[in-house]
Structure 1
């Protein structure tokens, strides 16, 4: 093995060790937040937000026991799936906005799509994969932000009713507006939980999933009922792109 190859291997081991260390810390924080809220830590799924991360970082996280990875873009995720095809236990999530023209590719690429926000998109997913139906969450734009996708709160019930026979709706997802402090996101998480609970009664659907909370506020999200937290920076470090 040449000097450059040896240095590359050492660097890879160093990065892998750091990812493993950070992952252990995040898992401990999740467990502590769950216990503080009187919840079972095993009821919370950690999805590692791996947008722009190289396949080597995802492989390192997988070696440390991570199984769920969230991507923002369909084509980037498909490329990584191909590079990491030997990691058969990985579950891929789409956590970014999904364009309708990418629905066919997304339908078979992801274990769960977190960002359905229109009848048109749900219909496209249903046509792409009528059986088994695509597992998905409805994305809710609680902050009424023009720059973000997601259905408005007053349109969620109608959307659920319109698409329930086209996709497998498993719950709701939200990304609160940027805030000066993590504590300001709590009302949004509480509101999503309350909305989910009402919808479950009205629709008769289980709606068991709440995807909410990221690096800066996942503990608050857990206290408010999150079943899925999407964490990237706390495990992978700052993005370089």
Structure 2
């Protein structure tokens, strides 16, 4: 884990260059350090190196890890959201990246009201229509947006997608572009604010930035290869 600081610096520099090349300010892109499967000690090292935004996808792993770390970190839940775990997710995470249906959005909004929290949410879009992935179909999102925009507690801030697996990173560009275009169409049609796009991971985040990503999810390029047997204990 001794190289975490250096790897963070390298990723931030790549983000800076990609943003500038796209005519954007580097501060318009937030790096989510995906810490799933890595121990709390690794997260602490990244925090000491200046990283404050982290992503987790499994509640059972994340909850004890979060409890061991400093308060005030910006935690993003990036995994599939199960309705029976929403009540436990919301107190821990300020942002949720995979609200994949109107039903789940309404339920999460109600739980947020019960708990007195106002989480940010990204709507997951199955932009390529893959049968193995969840998320709104683009046409369903367009039909649902009027109900989504008036939720009282869940703040819809943007769209999220994971593109199909590709052999070369450049092949993901078409899907990132389609998500941005869909967002722009919905904003224009419904006069709704959707400023954020969560897309791009370790292998393709620079291309995602070129296509408008505001949040990129990078794990292995910061922390190294994952060991799914690692616990969350700090020490």
Match of residue 180 from structure 1? 167
**Residue range with higher mean Cα deviation, 75-84 or 30-39:** 75-84
Match of residue 188 from structure 2? 201
Structure 1: runs of 5 or more not aligned: 1-14
- Asked if structure 1 preserves the Cα contact closer than 8 Å seen for 2:123 and 2:160, the reply is yes
- Asked if structure 2 preserves the Cα contact closer than 8 Å seen for 1:20 and 1:64, the reply is yes
**In the TM superposition, what is the alpha-carbon distance from 1:133 to its structure 2 partner?**
3.1
Provide the rounded CA distance (Å) in 1 between the counterparts of 2:92 and 2:110. Answer: 15
- Asked if structure 1 preserves the Cα contact closer than 8 Å seen for 2:90 and 2:117, the reply is no
Higher relative contact order (CA 8 A, sep 6+): 2
Give the structure with the larger helix fraction: 1
Provide the rounded CA distance (Å) in 1 between the counterparts of 2:173 and 2:46. Answer: 29
Q: Deviations over 1:74-102 (max 9, x none)?
A: 23222211111xx1231100111101111
- Asked if structure 2 preserves the Cα contact closer than 8 Å seen for 1:100 and 1:120, the reply is no
Q: Deviations over 1:28-70 (max 9, x none)?
A: 0000001111110011000011111110111110000111111
Q: 1:57 is matched with which residue: 42, 57, 62?
A: 42
- Asked if structure 1 preserves the Cα contact closer than 8 Å seen for 2:91 and 2:117, the reply is no
Match of residue 70 from structure 1? 55
**In the TM superposition, what is the alpha-carbon distance from 1:150 to its structure 2 partner?**
1.1
The number of residue pairs the alignment matches comes to: 224
**Residue range with higher mean Cα deviation, 137-146 or 159-168:** 159-168
Q: 1:44 is matched with which residue: 29, 51, 57?
A: 29
Match of residue 168 from structure 1? 155
CA RMSD of aligned residues (A): 1.2
Match status 1:88 vs 2:66: no
Match of residue 198 from structure 2? 211
